Amino acid sequence: MPYLFTSESVSEGHPDKVADQISDTLLDNFLAFDPESKVACETLVTTGQVVLAGEVKSDTYLDVQTIARDVINDIGYTKGAYKFSGDSCGVISLIHEQSQDINQGVDRGNKEEQGAGDQGMMFGYATKETENYMPLALDISHKILIELAKLRRENNEITYLRPDSKSQVTIEYSDDNIPQRIDSIVVSTQHDEFDEEDTRMLDKIKKDILEILIPRVQAQLPEYVQKLFNDKIKYHINPTGKFVIGGPHGDTGLTGRKIIVDTYGGKGAHGGGAFSGKDPSKVDRSAAYAARHIAKNLVAAGVADEVLIQVSYAIGVVEPTSLLVETYGTKKVDLSHGEIAKKVLKIFDMRPAAIEERLGLRNPIYRETSAYGHFGKEPRTERKVFKSPYNGEKTVEVNLFTWEEINKVEEIKKEFEI
């Protein structure tokens, strides 16, 4: 019997994502001026206030207030009417030095023997369902909000948009897990006050979403996904009605509170650890990236159509405590999951320092991950400029989303004799 599956996304202006972006931008600045920085930075945003907290070990010093304000302005919170603005909010820093008890288990004289920054389990997932090996419902949800943000910045076709928004997509699947149609789409977007009565305001928003936003999103999708759109889709546009009060004024935001949006939209599994604000010695982040890299390359190589990788660590211990492979009955090789896992560990060194080196994780690459998901984006090279009143200006060329590179396929095919 057909079944429904749903994923959601939130915009860069969602309060939790504002917090994530501030935390990751602070991390990038620490890494730009001191690549060996150890950072665990949390952010809270609420009406007119930003609170920065966490632990840092670094040889550099940052103007954290200016960095936070710049991020908020970049997102689009620039007006007093929003009750939260980069130029007027208060910024309180409670950041302090990292615990020596933690640091002694991570730092070693030999970099290769670096221990894991924490215990826990991390997951990576990939599926042939989309061209970027991501779950389809999440991929469409992200694209809806990315395009909505573009419309907001263009301020041309739709002129009343504010930064906070959410989306949700429900897809009907056949018994053999093939997408059949889009069942429903939810879009909630913050907006300016309207002069006319609320019913006319809501009618205009719905019309603009259906006639401007959705066609722009649909045009970006491959033909097989476009066919899933139909005239029977149930649209819920701002279903609660008026949405003027939003962002950190409408809801307090915290770093690390959108872990399913950040990963696979409910597909696969999640170990519970958030990403943003954490340097790569924290395996919550680096090992999750490495697990995605493994899963994506296994699917691309033809080992299976769908792959979940679980890896686990003990704090201060170099080697992972386990690695598991699950293929949901889609594997194309005559091997058990345990045998596949052994071959994976021959190809991919999962020690924390090896992951950092392989994926280039000691570079300032994290601001770009902190909205619209950490996975499924195109790898690219970018030149970034960092400015500091204490360290001057530094230009760094970085490779973004290295864990999305399909660069192990030939090695995998050789090992698996595909």
Separation of alpha carbons 162 and 293, rounded Å: 35
DSSP string, 295-346: HHHHHHHTSBSEEEEEEEE-BT-SS-SEEEEE-TT-B-SS--HHHHHHHHHH
Is 282 marked within a binding site? yes
Q: Three-class SS of residue 362?
A: coil
CA atoms within a 13 Å half-sphere pointing along the CA-CB vector of 315: 9
Is 208 marked within a binding site? no
Is 356 marked within a binding site? no
DSSP string, 70-93: HHHHHHT---GGGT--TTTSEEEE
**Which uninterrupted H or E stretch holds 216?**
helix 214-220
Is 166 marked within a binding site? yes
Is 408 marked within a binding site? no
Is 164 marked within a binding site? yes
Is 218 marked within a binding site? no
Phi, psi of 294 (to 5 degrees): -65, -50
* Total Cβ atoms within 10 A of residue 113: 12
DSSP-assigned beta bridge partners for residue 393: 387
Ranges of H-type helices in 168-303: 198-208, 214-220, 223-226, 247-250, 259-262, 283-301
**Which uninterrupted H or E stretch holds 46?**
strand 38-46
Q: Are 95 and 68 in contact (CB under 8 A)?
A: no
Is 123 marked within a binding site? no
Is 251 marked within a binding site? yes
Separation of alpha carbons 290 and 355, rounded Å: 7
Is 19 marked within a binding site? no
Is 243 marked within a binding site? yes
DSSP symbol at 212: I
Angle at 398 between CA 394 and CA 401, to 5 degrees: 145
Is 16 marked within a binding site? yes
Phi, psi of 246 (to 5 degrees): -155, -165
Q: Are 35 and 363 in contact (CB under 8 A)?
A: yes
The single residue listed with the structure tokens 């889609």 is 330
**Which uninterrupted H or E stretch holds 416?**
helix 409-416
Sign of the four-CA dihedral 68, 71, 73, 77: negative
CA atoms within a 13 Å half-sphere pointing along the CA-CB vector of 149: 23
Q: Are 313 and 322 in contact (CB under 8 A)?
A: no
Q: Residue ranges for the binding site for ATP? A: 14, 164-166, 242-243, 251, 257-258, 274, 278
Binding-site residue numbers for Mg(2+) are 16
Binding residue ranges for K(+): 42
Show binding-site residues for L-methionine.
55, 98, 251, 282
Known binding-site positions: 14, 16, 42, 55, 98, 164-166, 242-243, 251, 257-258, 274, 278, 282
